[in-house]
Amino acid sequence: MTAPSRTYGEYGGRYVPETLIPALDELEQGWRDALGDPAFGTEIDELGRSYGGRPTPLTVAERFVPGKRIYLKREDLLHTGAHKLNNALGQAVLARRLGKRRIVAETGAGQHGVATATVCARFGFDCVVYMGAEDMRRQAPNVERMGLLGADVRPVEFGTKTLKEATSEAIRDWITNAETTHYLIGSCVGPAPYPEIVRELQAVIGREAREQLLAATGRLPEVAIACVGGGSNAIGLFAGFIDDGDVRLVGVEAAGAASLGTGRAGVLHGSRSSLLADDDGQVLDAHSISAGLDYPGVGPQHAFLRDSGRAEYVGASDEEAVAAFKRLAETEGIIPALEPSHALAKVLELDEELILVCLSGRGDKDLAEVLGR
């Protein structure tokens, strides 16, 4: 009974209470209809251009690592300062097509919450964002932005008080309100068809980067590298190169939240994937200086790419990320978010010379954290 889009090898699927199945079926049907309607793609492209600021530049960084040509895909220059808007815009259009009036979302670092609040303001939806109380403390500027944009930000006070619990609360809200509400998930995680939807909406990153790099150098990159929390900017970047066997795909996790590196197969938030869990199947706390990577799960397609060998996943420590953050600022005049700083940290260890990095967000939100250390 499994439809082709629902699994990535043994990963993916729909592990949710039966109550949610009709909502997922409605979403799947709406998504298929949208994909078959040229007006959907046209509207998304137009919004990306005139509202988001696409295409984002591809910036060559020649001082970050002398001797290497590093191309930064500048999702930090997208409106709201991170790649999250690509997904939020697309899902907002989808929600409107489905006739929903209310949006619910989870957020970790706050970037997805801000992107969601942004599109809700633009489209006139009611907006509820669940955020862990600990994350609200360490990403206060984003909390303020969401409020100004008209979102109702609800703190989640139990468990680890981070993204994991915020996601559970958003899903519980959706279970209760599915008729009126679209769940605007922030990464390529969750029950089918969410991982596919988010990948397709973020694939613009990889598509543009590919064209831009070919135009600039005449070549494809030797390596495409990105940070991985839930995995959406990475899957978006990778989507441009999956079928190019000579392009190495590298995902960088936070060492303390290495769901792919040190995790095991398990079920969290509606899909089977690789997660940080104990022998009993209880989900463990993730630890990262960056709220956006502080998630014990990961998108099921990444688990499949790892197992099939198409992509490799490595970990970077808090210290390595902070050092890379400062290095990019001082050598290229760009302040990255702490999340992509993990990818930048591993660039230093690569043998290849032509490297494409997804700079998934800007670092304004992280100044207090970095300067406070």
Q: CB nearer to another protein: give 262 or 317.
A: 262
Angle at 85 between CA 159 and CA 304, to 5 degrees: 65
For another protein, the binding residues in 165-184 under the rule CB under 8 A are: 165, 168, 171-172, 175-176, 178-179
* Catalytic option among 28, 75, 106, 332: 106
Examine residue 354 and tell whether it contacts another protein (CB under 8 A).
no
Q: CB nearer to another protein: give 20 or 34.
A: 20
Examine residue 155 and tell whether it contacts another protein (CB under 8 A).
no
Among 108, 112, 121, 213, which Cα is nearest to 161's? 108
Examine residue 147 and tell whether it contacts another protein (CB under 8 A).
no
* Phi–psi pair at 36, nearest 5 degrees: -85, -5
Examine residue 98 and tell whether it contacts another protein (CB under 8 A).
no
Examine residue 283 and tell whether it contacts another protein (CB under 8 A).
yes
For another protein, the binding residue among 161, 182, 199, 272 (CB under 8 A) is: 272
Q: Which two tokens mark 263?
A: 């995790």
Examine residue 279 and tell whether it contacts another protein (CB under 8 A).
yes
The nearest distance, CB 370 to another protein, in angstroms, is: 30
Examine residue 15 and tell whether it contacts another protein (CB under 8 A).
yes
The nearest distance, CB 112 to another protein, in angstroms, is: 19
Examine residue 4 and tell whether it contacts another protein (CB under 8 A).
no
- The piece of 15-23, 91-99, 195-203, 324-332 that touches another protein (CB under 8 A) is 15-23
Q: Which DSSP state fits 299?
A: -
Among 159, 158, 129, which Cα is nearest to 144's? 129
Q: How far apart are CA 356 and CA 358, in angstroms?
A: 7
Kindly give the residue spans of alpha helices, DSSP state H, lying in the chain: 21-35, 38-47, 84-97, 111-123, 133-138, 140-148, 163-177, 194-217, 232-238, 300-308, 318-332, 338-347, 367-372
**Is 360 designated active site?**
yes
For another protein, the binding residue among 35, 124, 158, 244 (CB under 8 A) is: 158
At 141, which amino acid appears?
P
Q: Which residues lie closer than 8 Å to 16 by C-beta, 6 or more apart? A: 24, 171, 191, 270
Q: How far apart are CA 107 and CA 5, in angstroms?
A: 25
Among 233, 217, 214, which Cα is nearest to 357's? 233
Examine residue 282 and tell whether it contacts another protein (CB under 8 A).
yes
Task: Give the DSSP letter string of 319-333.
Answer: HHHHHHHHHHHHHHS
Q: CB nearer to another protein: give 272 or 346.
A: 272
The nearest distance, CB 167 to another protein, in angstroms, is: 9
- The piece of 8-16, 58-66, 102-110, 209-217 that touches another protein (CB under 8 A) is 8-16
CA dihedral (47, 50, 52, 56) positive or negative: positive
Q: Are 370 and 93 in contact (CB under 8 A)?
A: no
Examine residue 1 and tell whether it contacts another protein (CB under 8 A).
yes
For another protein, the binding residues in 18-57 under the rule CB under 8 A are: 18-23
SS3 label, residue 307: helix
For another protein, the binding residue among 70, 94, 197, 277 (CB under 8 A) is: 277
For another protein, the binding residue among 110, 230, 263, 266 (CB under 8 A) is: 266
* Catalytic option among 28, 73, 75, 84: 84
The nearest distance, CB 266 to another protein, in angstroms, is: 5
For another protein, the binding residues in 179-238 under the rule CB under 8 A are: 179
Q: CB nearer to another protein: give 3 or 214.
A: 3
For another protein, the binding residue among 33, 140, 281, 308 (CB under 8 A) is: 281
Examine residue 146 and tell whether it contacts another protein (CB under 8 A).
no
Q: How far apart are CA 205 and CA 360, in angstroms?
A: 10
Q: How far apart are CA 27 and CA 199, in angstroms?
A: 15
List residues binding another protein (CB under 8 A): 1-2, 13-23, 158-159, 164-165, 168, 171-172, 175-176, 178-179, 264-270, 272, 277-283
Active site residues: 84, 106, 360
